[in-house]
Structure 1
Amino acid sequence: MNQSASKQASQSSQSIDSLEELCAHAVELEHESAGRFHQLADSMEVHHNAEVAGLFRELAQLSEAHAAAIEARAHGLALPRIPPWEFKWNCPDGPESHCLDEEVNYLMTATQALRVALFNEEQARAFYQGIADHTGDVRVRDLAAEMAAEEREHVRLLNEWLERQPPDLEPADDLDPPNVPE
């Protein structure tokens, strides 16, 4: 990730100073991620791109499992209800659901889908690291650092998946492109 994106992630997250607020952000981040991956999978299925649809479903399940783990960890905490416009990340959606719309299309390959997921995991890692770097609360710092480490592990896993992909092929030509006015 470039230095500017890392700086933005750090600046947007610096005011999270309670475990409750951190957990509320983390749960929402994972639910947003799962929701976006399900949407992408549905879209790929409609366009008969079964391989990429399956990959997006698998990524959605991983996000759902991570959300469940965070919810279990937050059991007993009174998580605040945060309006969508008050979440402290630097993009309209959560860091793991930023989609790089120009990168996503119905003809995309598994390699391209994994690159989108990798970008999102790197954004999430930067988000949590920014919290750990700027909070004054030791418990928040420790949990945020642990979450950043988990995201680093997700990045490592996705890089392994990418290494197992065949050489990146260009997507098939779109024989019936959308009619978009210029």
Structure 2
Amino acid sequence: MIDDIETFLVHAITLERDAARRYEDLAQVMRTAGNDEVRKLFERMAHFSRLHLNEAMERGGFRELPVLAPADFQWPGGDSPEAASWHGIDGLIDVPAALEIALEGERAGTAFYEGVADAANDSEVVRMAREFASEEAGHVCELQRWIAHIATA
């Protein structure tokens, strides 16, 4: 259980860094495929992840954040939720598969933050985890709209 704000912030920073990197990877694949519309979506999603990352870093700026070894992270399944879904990205991935991978990552991020909020006793952790979960849920909705748009195009 993540029940102190410093440990929560280290997890959030890592998760959002992973998300930004993976969205940048997906944007590059879409650039190579010549799909500017979806490339711009993934670039925007990378930007949002960097904003969340900066927010977590700023909130941790007045604290001394712990340095966690990989084994000390409390990820469900052993990997950062945003990193776990990104295995298999290659230059041949098509748009529907790329969107599904992105959606899976956002759902996992939402579930991670919701799980932290549900289990934590620290009110600051609960509040911040719920806030981050809400932001991730918004990303889920946006990706679902894109998937529906692509399916009808």
TM-score (normalised: structure 2)? 0.83
1:86 aligns with 2:67: no
More helix by share: 2
Work out the CA distance in 1 between the residues paired with 2:133 and 2:124.
14
Map residues 165-176 of structure 1 onto 2, 5 A cutoff: 165-167=150-152
Identify unmatched segments of 5+ residues in structure 2.
none
**One of 85, 109, 112 as aligned partner of 1:124:** 109
1:96 paired to 2:76: no
* Alignment length (residue pairs): 151
**Is residue 23 from structure 1 mapped to residue 9 from structure 2 by the alignment?**
yes
Provide the identity percentage. 33
Runs (5+) with no aligned partner, structure 1: 1-14, 169-182
1:61 equivalent among 47, 50, 54:
47
What residue is the counterpart of 2:21 in the other structure?
A: 35
Correspondence for 1:49 among 13, 30, 33:
33
1: CA distance between counterparts of 2:26 and 2:144?
Answer: 20
TM-aligned CA deviation for residue 78 of structure 1: 1.6
Q: CA RMSD in A?
A: 2.3
- The structure with more radius of gyration: 1
Q: Retained in 1: the 8 A contact 2:16–2:52?
A: yes
Normalising by structure 1, we get a TM-score of 0.71
Q: Distance in 2 between matches of 1:82 and 1:115?
A: 30
